[in-house]
Amino acid sequence: MTRMTPFAALICLVAFATSAIAQTNRVTFPTDFAEMKMYGDYRRGTGGELAYALPETIETAKAGNPLPPGTRIVLEIYSNDALTDYFVMEKGEQWGLDFPEEQRTGDWHFQQFEPNMQVRRTDIADRCMSCHQGAARNDFMFSHDRLLSYLP
């Protein structure tokens, strides 16, 4: 039996960690963001969030159907009346399997983006997941009621 040197073990660990990060960071900024409709306004003073979804996402929710893989929800985040971030939750086919069962948020993944729509490398996605776990009855969405009540 061949023994692995400490350096080889470190390389394997880094490769595994890198693949795990890549596997769980699947969310991309929607190229069709300009087509999305603002369906939720959560502004408070000079800050808050605006929630966006595609018209077909809104129609699917209003029809009482589950949101399918490929669905994206975008939050614009404001502070002092300035756009500071985007948060995107995206649903993928069996993406929940990337996480232990007690950490899953259905098949949703989360990612923070800078105002220029580039990925912001922070650990916010873990906090999003842990918070959204409490919204399981609404497909892990806090804005589900706003989707249902949206009027064009």
Neighbours of 121 (CB within 10 A): 10
Residue 92 lies in a domain: yes
Instruction: For 82-112, write each residue's pLDDT tens digit.
Output: 999 999 999 988 777 777 877 777 878 889 9
How many structural domains are present in the chain? 1
Which whole number is the average pLDDT over 69-83? 96
Grouping H, G, I as helix, E, B as strand and the rest as coil, residue 106 is: coil
Asked whether residue 1 is assigned to any structural domain, the reply reads no
Residue 140 lies in a domain: yes
Residue 110 placed within a domain: yes
> First-to-last CA distance in the chain?
67
CATH, residue 83: 3.50.70
Condensed to tens digits (0 to 9), the pLDDT of residues 34-67 reads 999 999 999 999 999 999 999 999 999 999 999 9
Asked, for residue 114, whether it belongs to a domain, the answer is: yes
**5-12 contact pairs (CB < 8 A, 24+):** none
pTM of the model: 0.76
Instruction: Provide the residue range defining the domain that includes 41.
Output: 6-149
